[in-house]
Amino acid sequence: MTIRGYWRCSTDLQDQERQVLALKQAGCEKVYGDKITGTSDWSSRPELQECLDLMEEGDILVLSELSRLSRSFVGMVNQVSDLLERGVHIKTLDARLDTTAMPKEITMLIVSILGYAASQELDQIKTRTAEGRGVAKARGVKFGRKRTYTSFQADEVVRKHKNGNGMGTIAKSVGMSRSMVQRTLREHKQNQLLTA
C-alpha cells in the first residue's frame, strides 16, 4: 500500500506550500502537484496523470479537499468512480471523505454532493469575476496584453499604412510582427472612433 498526495493551486504560492506540508504531515510517501486552475482538463495536468497512473489496488490518494481533483461535477464523480473501481482509496484532509471507512454507495453520494457544491462555487466565482471586470471596464481599466511597442512605432505603422504599404512591409520596417501591425491599426481605428 502506497500513500500518495496530490495538491493543486492556481497561482498562490502560500496555498501550494500549505497543501504540500499538510500532505507530508498526513504520511504521503510521494507528493504530486500542478499549478493550474481546477477547470483545466486532465491532459494539462501532468503530475495528476502520473500520480493516477501509478496508483494500484489498495493505495490511498490523499487530497486537502476533493475539489483539488476537479471543480467540475462530472469530472469529480467520474474520477472518483474510476479510482474506486481500481480499488484505490481516497482521503481528504478536510475529513469530508475517507473511502477506507465507508461503503461505495455512501462514498458516491458524498462525492455527488461535494461535486455539486464545487461546481456551484465555481459558477459564483465566474459571476463575481465577470461583475468585477464590468465595474473595472466602466472605470476605464484596460484588459488584455500590455502594449509592447512605442508610440513612435505606432505612428510609423499608421503613416506607412496610409501611404499604401502592405502589412508585411510595414512589419519589417518597424520591427513588429504582422499580427502586431494589424492590432496596432485596429487600436488606432478604435481610438479614432472614440474621439470622433
Active site residues: 10
Whether the CB-CB separation of 72 and 119 falls below 8 Å is answered with yes
CB burial of residue 45 (10 Å; 0-12, 13-18, 19+): buried
Residue with cell 500520480: 51
Rounded to whole angstroms, the Cα distance separating 109 from 153 reads: 61
Q: State the DSSP code for 43.
A: G
* Longest CA span, the chain: 76
Copy the grid coordinates of residue 93: 484532509
CB burial of residue 41 (10 Å; 0-12, 13-18, 19+): exposed
Rounded to whole angstroms, the Cα distance separating 192 from 196 reads: 6
Q: Is residue 21 classed as helix, strand or coil in its secondary structure?
A: helix
Give exposure, 183-193, as e/b (b: 16+ Cβ within 10 Å).
bbbeeeeeeee
Whether the CB-CB separation of 161 and 185 falls below 8 Å is answered with yes
